[in-house]
Amino acid sequence: MKEILTNNIQLNWLRTFEAAGRKLSFTLSAQELNMSQSAVSQQIQLLEHHLNQQLFVRANRSIQLSDTGRSFLPLVQECLRQLNAGAAQIFTPLNKTVIEVNVNTTFSVLWLSTRLQRFNEIYPQITIRQLGTNWPTDFNISTAELEIRYGTGHWPGFESHPLVSPVLRPYCSMDTANRLRKPADLEGMPLLDVIGTPQGWSGWLKEMKLDHLQGQTRQFMDSHAAAVTMAANGFGVCLMYDELMGEGVLAKHLVAPFDESITTEGSYYLCYQGDKDLSAASRIFRDWLLGSRTHR
């Protein structure tokens, strides 16, 4: 077995197996790896054939790790972690450094905090110092090289890159979802609206032709993070971006009761001044953030 693993095994097979074993879904791992589902399935089959072992149990459109797969997964994850960390040390030699990043609080809580461990495993010598930036007036006093802002993406003098698709759909707790079968069932439900969000509940209800619900009770807060927390605790329904509901503790307590969504002008963007060169560490963090957009 040692000779097979060291001489003939393909690294992309291991990366695909790690993603599939972590997600327990060929579809979700394909999205994360920016591959087709059939390519993921084929690579898993090649790895299983190569090892002469069944790594997954396939049944009823779902997959589970076999006993062998469960034993093999942590070994593969540790090997990939060491490879990433070692490559970062060798090919991107950096002294210990601190990157100050101004981050919209919602993006920090719902997206960055759920994934930052992955960055740290690759670049343990880089410390990220997050500072909350939520309102346009905060931008003017920022001294950070990198910012993650909420808005339309148009700020004079700044390069901006979208981190989240500008699509909103309802999310709520499982108990609340059990009482919802169609959008019209929202009648009487508290709607959690975020101040300053273009095309919020008013836009969604209009799109769904539910104008008779426009006047029902709403609760207002100044961040999507607060709306998600309230919804996770069973108080009402919020509108959220799918990418912010992919991982993390709060995401595990929320479901989308309907597929219906609307496109909004507001989203989350990575920004930095276009006429200034970024430091080496900031360039690394920028590239990691932009590369992580496909890992959904």
Average pLDDT over residues 256-283: 88
Please answer whether residues 171 and 231 qualify as being in contact, where contact means their C-beta atoms are separated by less than 8 angstroms: yes
Kindly state the percentage of the chain with pLDDT values over 90: 43
Give 195's pLDDT tier (boundaries 50, 70, 90).
Answer: confident
Count of H-run helices and E-run strands, the chain? 12, 12
Same domain, residue pair 195 and 274: no
Residue where a domain stops, chosen among 50, 72, 91: 91
What pLDDT was estimated at residue 295? 44
Does residue 132 or residue 288 have the better pLDDT?
Answer: 288
Same domain, residue pair 193 and 50: no
Which residue, 52, 106, 99, is CA-closest to 223?
106
CATH of the domain at 135: 3.40.190.10
- Answer yes or no: is pLDDT of 296 > 60: no
Same domain, residue pair 259 and 271: no
Same domain, residue pair 254 and 141: no
Q: What is the mean pLDDT of the chain?
A: 86
Same domain, residue pair 48 and 184: no
pLDDT, tens digit (0-9, with 9 covering 90-100), for 204-222: 999 999 999 988 889 998 8
Write out the residue range of the structural domain in which residue 199 sits: 167-263
pLDDT, tens digit (0-9, with 9 covering 90-100), for 77-125: 988 888 877 776 667 666 678 889 999 989 999 999 889 998 988 888 8
Distance CA 36, CA 16 (A): 11
Same domain, residue pair 161 and 213: no
What pLDDT was estimated at residue 143? 76
Local structure of residue 187 (DSSP, 8 states): T
Q: What's the total number of domains in the chain?
A: 3
What pLDDT was estimated at residue 140? 62
Same domain, residue pair 252 and 172: yes
CATH of the domain at 52: 1.10.10.10
Same domain, residue pair 273 and 252: no
Distances (CA, A) of 114 to 158, 244, 247, 273: 27, 10, 6, 27
Residue where a domain stops, chosen among 61, 91, 121: 91
Same domain, residue pair 112 and 236: no
